[in-house]
Structure 1
Amino acid sequence: MAFSRRSNISNFSCCFLVIIVLSLHCENHIVSSSASRFIQTRGTRFVLGGYPFFFNGFNSYWMMHVAAEPSERHKISNVFREAAATGLTVCRTWAFSDGGDRALQMSPGVYDERVFQALDFVVSEARKYGVHLILSLTNNYKDFGGRTQYVTWAKNAGVQVNSDDDFYTKNAVKGYYKNHIKKVLTRINTISRVAYKDDPTIMAWELINEPRCQVDFSGKTLNAWVQEMATYVKSLDNKHLLEIGMEGFYGDSMPGKKQYNPGYQVGTDFITNNLIKEIDFATIHAYPDIWLSGQSDGAQMMFMRRWMTSHSTDSKTILKKPLVLAEFGKSSKDPGYSLYARESFMAAIYGDIYRFARRGGIAGGLVWQILAEGMQPYADGYEIVLSQNPSTGRIISQQSRQMTSLDHMSSNRTNSQSNKLRNSKEQ
C-alpha cells in the first residue's frame, strides 16, 4: 500500500507538473499571439504578425474634430473606405484638441466626453476598414491648442513662464501634458470597449507634431523632454510603438549633417533625439515648396533626394530603427502649380520610397493630406479628395501595390533563409 500510495502521489505530481507546463505554454502563446497583433519593429523594418509590414499611408489630422459633429461622421467613414480601396493602410491623425472650438481637453484635466466619443468613432472606423492609426498627442503650433495653450493654462494658474518653449521645461506644464497622455492611453473606447493602450488598431503614439525649440537650437532641451515623456508613455503602454513627430532637422551632435538642412535649425537633433531607446522609429517631413520657396522644381527635387538619402542612411547605420516619411505633398497654392506637377512630384517621391524600402531604408510614407468631399474649410492647398481626383488615386494605388509586393518579397526571402538554416542543421 505504501508503494502504491507513493506511486499515486508521484503520478499526480507528474500530471500536475504537466498541467502547469501546458498552462504556462498556453499563457505564453496567448501573450505572444496578443503581441503579434500589434505592429512591432525588427531592425529597420516593421513587422505585423511576424511578417514584414511595409505601408503606403496618409494624413487626415481633422478626423476627431469633424467627428465631434455626429451629422458629419460619414466623412470619416468615406475617407477610410476610399483610402482602403486604394490600398492605404496607415493614417496619422490628431488625438488632441486643447482649448478652443470642439476642444477635447477644455482645461487641464477637464475633457469633453462628446469629443472623446468622436475619437472613439475614428478608432473604431479605422479598425472596420483595416487601417492602422498613428495618433499624435499635441502640437508644436497653436492650431488646436498645442504648446501655446498648455503654457497659457500654466500662466493663468500663476506659473512664471516666458515663452512657448517653457512647455519643455516647466514642471507644471509637463504635468498637464503627462495627464493628457494618461487620459488618452487609458481611455476605454465606448464603441469597441477596448482600452486604447490595448487596441492593435493603433500603430503608434506620436509625442508632438513637428517639435521645435527656439531657445535651444542644439536639440538638448528637446532631448531631455523626449526622454522624460517617452519613458512615461512606455510606463503606461509597452505594446504600442512610439515616435517623436520630428521633421528631421539635424542639430549639433553631428555638425557635418547640418548641410542637409534647408539652411536652418529648429531646435531638434534628428540623431540624438531618435537614439533614445524608448523611441521605436524615426520620422521625417518634407516640404521643399515651403522650405525652398522660390527655387525651381528641379532644385526642390534635388533637396528631397538628398534629404531622404541622408536620413535613410542614418536610420540604417546609426539609429538602426525604421524610418517613415510622415508628411509630404505639393500645394496647389504654389506659383505655377498644375495637377501634372503634383502628380509628377508624388510619383517621384513614391518611387524613391519604394527603392529605399527595398534596401531596408524608409519603411513607409504618409501623404499630406486626404479629405472627404465637402470639406473646403480644411483645404490647405495640399488636399486630395480621392473621389474627385481619380488620376491621383491611381498613382496612390500603384504605390500601395508596390509596397505590398515588398511584404511578399521579404516574407519569401525570410522563409527561404529559414529553410536553408533548417536544412543545414538537419545535415
Structure 2
Amino acid sequence: MKRILTALLILSFVVNSPASEGAFTKFVYRQGDKLMDEHGELRFVSFNIPNLHYVEDNMPFTELNPWRLPNEFEIADALEAVRQMGGRVVRTYALSVRVSGEDSNIPRHIIGPGQFDEKAFQALDMVLAVANRKGIRVIIPFIDNWKWWGGIEAAAAFRSKKQQDFWTDPVLFEDYKKIVGFVINRTNTVTGVKYRDDKAVFAWETGNELVCPHEWTTKAAAYMKSLDNNHLVLDGFHTTKLRDESIRDDNIDIVTTHHYSKNPAETIGQIKSNMAKARGKKPYFVGEFGFIPTDAVEKVLQTVIEENVSGALIWSLRFRSRDGGFYWHSEPYGGDLFKSYHWPGFASNASFDETGLLELMRQKAFEIRGIAAPAIEKPAPPVLLDIEDVAAISWQGSAGAQSYIVERTQSKDGPWLAAKCNISDAALQYRPLFNDTSVEIGKSYYYRVIAMNSAGISKPSNIAGPVSVSNKTLVDEMQDMQFIHKHSDNLSLEIKQARNFKEDAHRLKGKSGDFVVYKVEPPINSWKVYSFFPDEITDFRFSASADGRSFEQVKFERKDYFAGKGEYDYYKPVLYKGTISGDKAAYLKIEYNTETQISCVEIKYGG
C-alpha cells in the first residue's frame, strides 16, 4: 500500500493543477446549428477517452482481471492532458453492463434491471468533479450497441431476451429508462450536485453506435428531456450519413457521425454532405474518427474547421496509471499499427507518429477556437511511489512531461546526483520504469524524480528511501539483444499484435531448439522469466554455469496467469522463477521446447 504522504501529494497535485477558463457559468445550449456556452460559440477539436470512467486495460503480467475503476490521479492526468492540448470537450465510452457468468470481481455500472454499482458510479462522480475543475465538458453515452463492455446484449440477457429485442420490447425500454433516470437524477458524491444540474455534462448521448430504429431514439430522447431541461440530447445512432429523421426530431438537439474509412477523401466528402444537411437546423460534430496517418487527420480537421462543423473527437486518448507508466490499448481495427495516444507523444509510438499527431491536435484545437496556442507549460512534480527494490522504481508521471531525471543520494539532505536522465514513462508496458544498475551493494539510497519537457523542468518529487541494496538485477525487456551473452540464430524480436500479449510490445520469439544465455557477475541469486505461449504449455529448460561451458540443469517454479482467450485471443502468460545456491554461477541458459515468446528476464546477482 502507498504511504499516506504519497496520497496527500496526489491530492495536492490534483487540487493545485491549473484550471482553464474557470468554472462553468452556463450549460451548453444550441442556437440554430451552433453550440453555445458562456464564452460564445463552442467549437472543439479533442478526444474520445473511453476509459476515463472505467479502465479496461489494467494488464500487468500477473493481473488476471484487466478491469478496474480509475482514481482521481488518473482522471486528472487525462483531463489535464486535454486541457494542455486546448480541448474543451471529451467523450467517454458507454456505461458497462454485467455479463452473465463473468467474474464477480469485475466492476460494472449496471448489474441488473434497475440495479447499479455504487463504486462504479463514484468513479464517474470523480470524472465530473475533475472536469469542472479543469474546464472540460463531458459527453456521456448511456449504453453500448456492442458487447465489449456488456452493452445491449447483456442488458437484454437480464430478461432472458436477445439483443435485437432491445429496440422493441417494452420491458427492456423500461429498463433503459431506469438507467437514464438513475444517472440524470444522481447526486454526485464528490460535489453534491445532481447530474442534471452539472454544467460539466456537455450532453446526454442515447448510446454508443446504436443500430436502432428512429422510433426507439425519439422515445429515448423524449424521456431524457422530461427529466432534464438543462442538457442537450445527442443522437447516438451509428452512421456515417445523418438520418433525416434525426434532423427533423425536436427531441434531438445534436447529431453526430463516426468515420473509420482509410480513405480521407471519403470521410471528408461525408462530413461535407452531413454539414450541408444539418446547416441552419442542428449542431453537428464528428463524434469519432481515426486510424489514419497524421496528414490525413490534418485534412479531416481542416474540413471540420472550414465547413463550420461544431467539432471533432479523434479516437482515442489513454492516460497514466496510478502504478506508474500509462494504460495501453492496441486498436483491433487499427491495422496492428495504431494504438491509443499518450500526451505529449513518445518515441515508443513513433510508428504512427504519435508526437506529430498530438502536436497537430493541439494546433487545431486552438485554431478552431480562434485563438493562438499558448506556450507549453512546465510539468508539475511527479509522485515517486514506494521503492522496495532499486531494480523496480516507478512514479506517477506529470501531464505534458516528455522525460524524467531520477536522482539519488546516500543522505536525505543531499547532495543529489543524477542516476539517469531522459527516462520515458512510455517506453514499457505495465513494468517498472527504472532499474538503477549503478548502485553499490551494501549501501542505502534515497531517491527523487524530476519531470522535463520543452518548457523546462519540474520541482523535485517527494523523496523515497532509504532503500538498501543487497544485490543488483539484470532486467532484459526484450527491446533489443544487448543483454544477451549468446543465442541461437533463429530467434526474432517481436513487436506486433501487442494486444494478444497483454499489450507487451517487446518479446523474443523462439521455438524448440532455440536458446539464450545471460552472463552476470557471480553469483546468480535468483531469476524470473516472463513468457507467453500460444497454445499448450511446454516448459523451458533452465541451466546454470560458472564458466559458460558446462551447464547444470536447475529447478524452477511455474505459475500460469491465463484467464481465457477473451475477445482478443490472448496468449497464455506463464511466469518461471528459481534460485541458485552457491557463489559461482555466472551464466543462465534458457532453452525453448516449443514456440514461445519471452517478454522479460530478471536475474538478481552479486551480494
- TM-score strictly above 0.5: yes
Residue identity opposite 1:43 in structure 2: G
Aligned-pair distance for 1:270?
Answer: 1.3
Match runs of 1:39-54 below 5 Å: 39-49=28-38, 51-54=40-43
Which residue number corresponds to residue 294 of structure 1?
none
Q: Distance in 2 between matches of 1:37 and 1:143?
A: 35
Aligned partner of 2:297 among 343, 346, 362: 346
Question: 1:133 touches 1:203 (CA, 8 Å); kept in 2?
Answer: yes
Check 1:60–1:171 CA distance in 2 against 1; reply closer, same or farther (3 A cut): same
Which residue number corresponds to residue 197 of structure 2?
198
Q: Does residue 272 of structure 1 match 2:223? A: no
Q: Distance in 1 between matches of 2:34 and 2:70?
A: 40
Check 1:50–1:86 CA distance in 2 against 1; reply closer, same or farther (3 A cut): closer
Question: 1:249 touches 1:270 (CA, 8 Å); kept in 2?
Answer: no
Q: Distance in 1 between matches of 2:302 and 2:342?
A: 22
Aligned-pair distance for 1:249?
Answer: 4.4
Aligned partner of 1:322 among 273, 283, 292: 283
Aligned partner of 1:366 among 292, 300, 313: 313
Q: Does residue 248 of structure 1 match 2:239? A: yes
Q: Which secondary structure state, in structure 1, belongs to the residue aligned with residue 55 of structure 2?
A: helix
Q: Which secondary structure state, in structure 2, belongs to the residue aligned with residue 148 of structure 1?
A: helix
Which residue number corresponds to residue 223 of structure 2?
232
Residue identity opposite 2:200 in structure 1: T
Which residue number corresponds to residue 153 of structure 1?
158
Q: Does residue 399 of structure 1 match 2:404? A: no
Q: Distance in 2 between matches of 1:315 and 1:397?
A: 27
Aligned-pair distance for 1:36?
Answer: 6.2
Which residue number corresponds to residue 256 of structure 1?
none
Q: Does residue 60 of structure 1 match 2:60? A: no
Aligned residues: 316
More strand by share: 2
Check 1:274–1:98 CA distance in 2 against 1; reply closer, same or farther (3 A cut): farther
Aligned partner of 1:110 among 111, 115, 135: 115
Match runs of 1:15-164 below 5 Å: 37-49=26-38, 51-66=40-55, 69=68, 72-94=71-93, 96-100=95-99, 101-155=106-160, 161=161, 163-164=162-163
Q: Distance in 1 between matches of 2:82 and 2:232?
A: 23
Which residue number corresponds to residue 355 of structure 2?
390
- Deviation per CA, 1:283-307, whole angstroms, max 9, x where unpaired? 0110003xxxxxxxxxx12211210
Question: Which deviates more, 43-52 or 320-329?
Answer: 43-52
Residue identity opposite 1:399 in structure 2: K
Q: Does residue 379 of structure 1 match 2:330? A: yes
Aligned-pair distance for 1:406?
Answer: 7.7
Check 1:71–1:87 CA distance in 2 against 1; reply closer, same or farther (3 A cut): closer
Question: 2:49 touches 2:91 (CA, 8 Å); kept in 1?
Answer: yes
Q: Distance in 2 between matches of 1:403 and 1:142?
A: 35
Question: 2:328 touches 2:339 (CA, 8 Å); kept in 1?
Answer: no
Residue identity opposite 1:60 in structure 2: I
- Deviation per CA, 1:335-377, whole angstroms, max 9, x where unpaired? xxxxxxx2111111111111011xxxx1111111011244555
Which residue number corresponds to residue 176 of structure 2?
177
TM score, norm. by length of structure 2 = 0.50
Residue identity opposite 2:260 in structure 1: Y
Question: 1:41 touches 1:322 (CA, 8 Å); kept in 2?
Answer: yes
Q: Distance in 2 between matches of 1:71 and 1:167?
A: 30
Residue identity opposite 2:291 in structure 1: K
Q: Which secondary structure state, in structure 1, belongs to the residue aligned with residue 311 of structure 2?
A: strand
Residue identity opposite 2:187 in structure 1: I
Residue identity opposite 1:400 in structure 2: A
Larger radius of gyration: 2
Q: Distance in 1 between matches of 2:131 and 2:24?
A: 19
Q: Distance in 2 between matches of 1:273 and 1:376?
A: 36
Q: Distance in 2 between matches of 1:173 and 1:375?
A: 38
Which residue number corresponds to residue 526 of structure 2?
none
Match runs of 1:332-343 below 5 Å: 342-343=293-294
Aligned-pair distance for 1:248?
Answer: 3.0
Unaligned runs of 5+ in 2: 1-22, 57-66, 100-105, 332-337, 347-353, 373-607
Q: Distance in 1 between matches of 2:24 and 2:52?
A: 27
Q: Distance in 1 between matches of 2:131 and 2:70?
A: 18
Residue identity opposite 1:355 in structure 2: E
Residue identity opposite 2:253 in structure 1: D
Question: 1:64 touches 1:122 (CA, 8 Å); kept in 2?
Answer: yes
- Deviation per CA, 1:63-96, whole angstroms, max 9, x where unpaired? 2113985675422211111110010110001351
* Consecutive aligned runs of 4 or more in structure 1 exceeding 6 Å deviation: none
Question: 1:209 touches 1:245 (CA, 8 Å); kept in 2?
Answer: yes
TM score, norm. by length of structure 1 = 0.70
Question: 2:203 touches 2:231 (CA, 8 Å); kept in 1?
Answer: yes
Unaligned runs of 5+ in 1: 1-33, 156-160, 214-221, 251-268, 290-299, 332-341, 408-427
Aligned-pair distance for 1:224?
Answer: 0.9
Q: Which secondary structure state, in structure 2, belongs to the residue aligned with residue 308 of structure 1?
A: helix
Identity %: 24
Aligned-pair distance for 1:107?
Answer: 1.1
Question: 2:128 touches 2:200 (CA, 8 Å); kept in 1?
Answer: yes
Residue identity opposite 1:351 in structure 2: Q
Aligned-pair distance for 1:165?
Answer: 1.5
Check 1:44–1:117 CA distance in 2 against 1; reply closer, same or farther (3 A cut): same
